Amino acid sequence: MNQQNPAISKGIDWSLVGIYFLLVAVGLAAIFAATYKEGDAIFQSFIGFKTDYSKQFYFFIMGAVLAFFILLTDSKFFSATANLWYAVGILLLLLVFPFHSRVKGTESIIRFGAFNFQPAEFCKIFVSLALAKYLSRPETDFSKIRSQLIATAIALLPAALTILQSETGLALVYFSFFLVMYREGLPSIILLIGFAVAALIVATIIIEPNTLAFILTGIAIFFAYIFRRQIKRNKAILIRIVFLWFVCVGIQRFAVPYIFQNILQKHQIERIYDLFGKENPYLEKDETLSSAEAKKKKESGSSYNVRQSKIAIGSGRILGKGILKATQTRYDFVPEQRTDFIFCTVGEGFGFVGSIILLGLYLILLFRIVTIAERQRSVFSRCYAYGVAGVFFFHIAINIGMTVGLAPVIGIPLPFISYGGTSLLTFTIMLFILIRLDADRQMVLR
Amino acid sequence: MSVFNQSRSRIIRVIFLVAFIFITAQLFYLQVIEGKFRQLAAMDNAVFAKVDYPERGIIFDRNGKAILNNTIIYDLMVTPSEIKGIDTLDFCHLLGIDIEEFKQRVLDAKFKNSAVRPSVFKGLLTQDIQARFEENSWKYPGFNLVERPLRTYPYNAAAHILGYIREADPRDIERSGNFYRQGDYIGKTGLEAYYEDVLMGERGVQYMIKDNKNRLVGHYENGAFDTASIAGRGLKTYIDIELQQLAEKLMANKVGGLVAIDPKTGGILAMVSGPNYDPNDLTGPDGSKNYGKLVLDVTGPMLNRAIGGRYEPGSTFKPLGALVALDEGVITPSYGFPCFGRYTLCGHGKPACTHAGGGHAANVRLSIANSCNAYYAHVYRLAVDNPKYGNVKLGYLKWKEYMNAFGLGVRLGVDLPSESRGNIPDTSVYNKENNNHWTSCTNLTLGIGQDKMLTTPLQMANAMCIIANKGYYYTPHFVDKIDGETDDDSTLMNQFRVRHDVLTHIADTSFNAVIEGMNDVVKFGTARVAQIPGIDVCAKTGTAENYTILDGRRIKLPNNSMFVCFAPKENPKIAIAVFVQNAGYGATWAGPISRLMIEKYLNDTLMKKSEADLDRISKANLMPAYFKRLQYKEDSIRAFKWFKTTKDSAYIKKYLSNTLNPVRSKSGNNSFPIKKEKELVALLPGEKYFLKNLYPFYI
C-alpha cells in the first residue's frame, strides 16, 4: 500500500504529456498570431507580461510547476480529499455572489489582487473528483434510481450556481458528466431521450418548420419500413412509431412556437436565436428595426461573430495564409479572437490541413484518455478519467463547433489553446491528476 | 464490477469520432468548397484600396504667371469618441454655430462613420476660422484639421476659359468606363475638361489593411501592390492674363462675347463671355451654393458666348463677301456699284443703305469703308449667280464652301468643349422653304451678314486672322505647350500646329483691297473710334437688329453692337472680334472695347482718352431689361412646380403679391408690354397666367 516511488517518472503516460506540450505550444503561437502587432519587440514582449501571449506564457510556466507538484503528490491524496475539494468548490462559487467583480459580463469572476479568478472553471476539477469518489464508494449501487439522482445532483449543483452567475456556457459543461454516469451504467434510454429532445428543439430553431416536418415524417416512414416484419406480427410497434412521430411534430410545430410566442420574453427569444446565428423569425414585420439599427445590432450580436469567424476560417482554404498573414484574425474582425474564437486563427493561418492536424491531436488525446480509463483497476481513477474525457470533449466539440457554425455560441474556451489563465490552469491540473492517478493504476483507490 | 459496462467505452469512442467527423465535414465545406468565396469576403473585409490623388496640373499664362493653381483648404474633422472635456460653448462660438447644431453634427458623425473614425465636422473652413482653430486646437481633443486640395484662380479671371472641376456625376463615371468613382473630381468645362487627362495626372492606389472598425492599420503585403500617384502636368497657354483682366472689366455687365487671337499662331490671347462670374466663387466653402445660383440665372453666366453664342455678323461680314466675289472673278478691286440709298434690283428695295450716292461704293475699298449694303447684296448675288456654275443652287454651294473655308458654319476645333458651329444654311433649307424655287434674291441679305447666317465671336475673330494672314490660319487654341509633352500629347497638340492654307489662293491684290478698305474704316469710316496713334488698325463695325419673344410677343430689342479688327495692318499681331448684345451701334461699345484691347496688347499702356473710356465702359450696365422679366417667369414657374410636388409654399409666396413683381422700364428701347399687369401674380408653366383671385384655391 504505502508504495515508495524511487522516481516520480515511474508509470507516467508520456504520450499525454507530449500532447499537452504540443497543444500549449499551438495555443501560444495562435495567441501570438492573433494579438501581435507589427513592430513589437518579440522577445521583450514575451518576457514583459504586458501582452496576452506573454501572460499566457507565464500561465503555462505556472501550470507546469503545478503539474510537477501534482506528480509528486501521493495519488491517494486525491481520492481522500475529493469531497473536501468539492465543498471548497461550492464555497468558492457561493463567495462569488458577494465578492464578484462589478464589471458587466464578468459577474462570475473574483478579483484577487492583479488576478482574476473564475471559480466556475476550477469547479470542474472538484466535481470530477467528487463524482468519481461517490461512484467508487463500495456502498453505491448505481443501478438504483436514488444513486443516479445523487450523482446527478453532485454534477449539476455547481451548474445551477454557475447559471445564477449568468455563465450559461460554463454551466452546460457540467452536463458532460453524464458521460461518466453512462459509462457506470446509467440506462442509455435516459441519455437517448434527453439527447433526442435537445436535438429536436435545436432542429426546430435552425431548420425551416415545413422542411423539418418533412424530415421527421421521412424518418418515421424509414423506421416503419425497417420494422415492417415485426409490425406484421405486432401492430403495437406501428402505433408507437406513429405516436412518436406525432409527439415530435407536435413539439416542433406547436409546442416550441407556443413557448416562444407566449412564454418567453422577446429579448430571450432573440438571445436564443443569436446563439445559433439566426434572425429571430418571431419578430413582427412592423417591429423590424430600421436598417441602420438592425445593422448595428447585427454587428454586435453573435451572429456577426459566427459570420466573421466562418469567413476567417474559410478564407484559410486548404493550406492557410501563414500565421502572420491572416488578415481576418489579425485585425480583430473576429471578436473574442484570443479566447473563445482562437480556432479561427488556426483555420485562417493553417487552412484545412492545419485544422485537421489540430483536430487529430485532440482526437488522439480523447482516445488516449478513454484507453487509460479502461486500464484502471480502481473505479475512482476510471470515473475520474471519464470525467476528464467528457469535459475535454464537450469543450473541444462545442468550441470548434461554434466557430464553424455548428454549435451555439456559448463562450467556452478551447482546452490548452484559448487565452486565459484560469482555463489553462484548470485543464492542466485535470490532466495531470489523471496522469498521476494513471501512474498508480495498479492501486485500488477508494 | 468494472468490466460489466466495458462495451460502453466503445460507444463513447464512437460518439467522439462522430462529433469530430461532423466538424471535419463542416471545415471541408467552409475551407475547400467555399474557400474561394470566403477568401474574397475576407479580402473585402480587410483590404481597402485607398486612392492617392495627385495634384492637378497648373495652368500658366504666356508670361509664366499661374492663372489656375492649387491651394490647400482645411476640413475640420471630428472623432466623436475622443471628444473629452472641451468647452463646447467656446467651441461653438469659434465656429459660429449653436450648441444644438454642435450636438447634431457630432451625432451625425457617429451615425455615419462610427465614433472611433474621423468624419467631417465642417468642410472647407474659411481662413479666419481655420486660423482661430489652429491657435486653440489643443483645447479641443477629438477635433483636427485635414488638408484638402482646392483649385484656385489667383487672378479671379478667365472663368469661361479655365472652367472648373466638380465631383464626377453618374454619367461621367459611366462614360469613363468606371475609371472615375463616386467622389472623384473631374474637369467639367473649359481647359479643365479639355485637358482633363493631362491635368489630372495619374492616380496612385495604396492597398491598406483595415481592422474591424475600418481604421487603416498598415499597408497590405508591405505595399507590394501599391502604386504612387503622378502629379498632373502644367499647361502653358497664350493667354495674356492682364489683357484678359482688362477685357473682363470692359465686358462687365454686358451680354456678348470677345475673342482676341494672335493671327501668327492661332493662340487665343483673351476670351470673355458676358455676363461673367468669378471662378473662385465655385471653389471654397460656398461653392455649391454659388453654383446653384449661377445655374438658375437666366442671363446664363455659365454659358461661354464667345464660342457658343450665335450672332448675325451683320456688316462685319462684308470683307469676307468681297473676298469671295474677288476670288470668283465676278468683280475686280475697282468694281463699283451705283447705290442711291437702297438696293432695287430684286424689286423690293431692300436692303436699305445708310449712304446715298456720292460714289460711296465706287470700288471695293470704298464700299468697305462706307459699308454699303446695296453693294454687298449685289456682290453676293453676283457670286452665287456666277454663270460658271449654271444655277443658283450650285453657285450657292460654292459660296458655302468659301464660308466653311473661312471657318463659318463649321466648328473650328478650339480646345474648349461645347463650341458652336454657328450657321451657314444648306441649299436644302432654302429648297424646303421656297418649294424648290428660289433665286439669289431670296436670301440676298446673306451678303450683308443676315438672313440665316449665324456666327460665333470666335469664328469672326478667326476670319479676321485669315484676312490678316492673307489666306491661312491656325486653329484657335489656348494651350501652347504641355509640360513634359508625350507622344499622346503631341497627337493632341498637332492639330493646333498645322497651318490651314484654306484661302491662300485668293490673290494678294484682292486681300490688299479689302485690308485697305478696312484700314479706311478706321481712318475715315464708322470705326474712327478705333484710331490709335502710331498703329494702323484695320476694322469693320457691325450693327444687327434683333428680336426676342417674351410673354407671347415679338419684341424688338436694341441692336447688337459688333466690331471686328486686326492690327497692325502690316505684320498683324492681334485680331479681335467683339459682340455686345443689345447695346447699340458697333462703334459705340464694341469699337472702343477693341481699341483698348489693341492698345493694351501692343503698347502695354492706355492713352489718357482710353483710361476715360475704360472707366465709362466698365461702369456701363447694358444688361437687357427683359432678363428681369425672364428671371421672374423662370423663378415663379419653378416655385410653382416645387409647390405642386412638395406642397411647400415657401417659394411661391412671394410671387403671390404684387409688390415684388418686377415691371419693365418704360423708357424707349427696353420696354415691352404686359397686359393687365395688376392681375398677373404668378405664371404657370405654359405661360398661362395665374390670376390673383384664383390663388386661394391652390393654397
- Nearest residue of A to residue B34, measured between CA atoms: A314
Average pLDDT of the residues in B630-643: 80
Whether B684 and B591 map to the same domain: the answer is no
- Tell me which residues of chain A, numbers 23 to 82, contact chain B at a CB-CB cutoff of 8 Å: 38
B401-432, pLDDT tens digit by residue? 999 999 999 999 999 998 999 999 999 999 99
Read off the pLDDT of residues B312-333 as tens digits, 9 standing for 90 and up. 999 999 999 999 999 999 999 9
Identify whether residues B450 and B537 lie together within a single domain.
Answer: yes
Q: What is the pLDDT of residues A20-29, one digit of tens each?
A: 999 999 999 8
Higher per-residue confidence, B476 vs B3 = B476
Residue B684 has pLDDT above 70, yes or no: no
Helix (H, G, I), strand (E, B), or coil: what is residue A19? helix
Q: Does A182 touch chain B (CB under 8 A)?
A: yes
* Chain A CA closest to residue B29: A314
B190 with B64, same domain: the answer is: yes
pLDDT score recorded for residue B681:
38
In a domain? residue B413: yes
Q: Is A110 helix (H, G, I), strand (E, B) or coil?
A: strand
What is the number of other CB atoms lying within 10 angstroms of the CB of residue B258? 30
Residue B44: inside a domain: no
**Would an 8 Å CB–CB cutoff place A386 in contact with chain B?**
yes
Please give the pLDDT value at position A114. Answer: 61
Residue among A444, A442, A435 at smallest CA distance from A72: A435
Give the gap in angstroms from C-alpha A183 to the nearest C-alpha of chain B. Answer: 6
The pTM of the whole model exceeds 0.80: no
Q: How far apart are CA A265 and CA A270, in angstroms?
A: 9
> For chain B, how many structural domains are there in total?
4
pLDDT of amino acid A38: 66
Q: Which residue of A has its CA nearest to B15?
A: A393
Cα of first residue to Cα of last residue in chain A, in angstroms, is 12
B278: number of CA atoms within 13 Å, CB side? 11
Contacts of B210 in chain A (CB under 8 A): 331
Interchain proximity A292–B111, CB inside 8 Å? yes
> Strands across the sheet with B216-219, in order?
B47-52, B204-210, B216-219
The answer for A 308-337 residues in CB contact with B (under 8 A) is 308, 310-318, 327-328, 331-333, 335
Q: Domain check: are B144 and B195 in the same one?
A: yes
Q: How confident is the model at residue B221 (pLDDT cuts 50, 70, 90)?
A: low
Three-class SS state of A419: coil
Nearest chain B residue to A188, by CA? B8
- Grid look-up 454699303 returns B372
Contacts of A149 (CB under 8 A, 6+ apart): none
pLDDT in the model for residue B563: 94
Domain end (from B568, B603, B619): B619
Q: Which residues of B touch A348 (CB under 8 A)?
A: 42
Residue B614 lies in a domain: yes
Whether B497 and B550 map to the same domain: the answer is: yes
Chain A residue nearest residue B2, CA to CA: A379
Which of B179, B203, B235 is the last residue before a domain boundary? B235
Report yes or no on B315 lying in a domain: yes
Q: What are phi and psi of B77, to 5 degrees?
A: -105, 150
Say yes or no: B221 and B368 in one domain.
no
ipTM of the complex: 0.86
B41 in a domain, yes or no?
no
Is B453 in the same domain as B551?
yes
B521 assigned to some structural domain: yes
Domain that holds residue B642: 626-698
Q: Is residue B250 part of a domain?
A: no
Residues B16 and B64 in one domain: no
On whether both B15 and B85 belong to a single domain, the answer is no
* Contact criterion met (CB < 8 Å) for A351 and B31: yes
Contact B210, A331 (CB under 8 A): yes
Contacts of B37 in chain A (CB under 8 A): 314
- Asked, for residue B242, whether it belongs to a domain, the answer is no
Q: Which residues of B touch A (CB under 8 A)?
A: 1-2, 4-6, 8-9, 12-13, 15-17, 19-20, 22-24, 26-28, 30-32, 34-39, 41-43, 45-47, 111, 209-213, 217-218, 220
Residues B609 and B631 in one domain: no
Q: Which of B581, B596, B619 is at the close of a domain? A: B619
Q: Are residues B578 and B484 in the same domain?
A: yes
Give which of B23, B40, B44, B220 to mutate to test A binding, by max A Cβ within 10 Å.
Answer: B23
Residue B693: per-residue pLDDT = 33
Could A292 and B209 be called an inter-chain contact, meaning their C-beta atoms sit closer than 8 Å? no
- Indicate which CATH number applies to the domain containing B588: 3.40.710.10
* Contact assignment for A405 to B26 by CB distance below 8 Å: yes
H-only helix segments in A137-167:
145-164
Residues B579 and B683 in one domain: no
CA distance A386 to chain B (A): 9
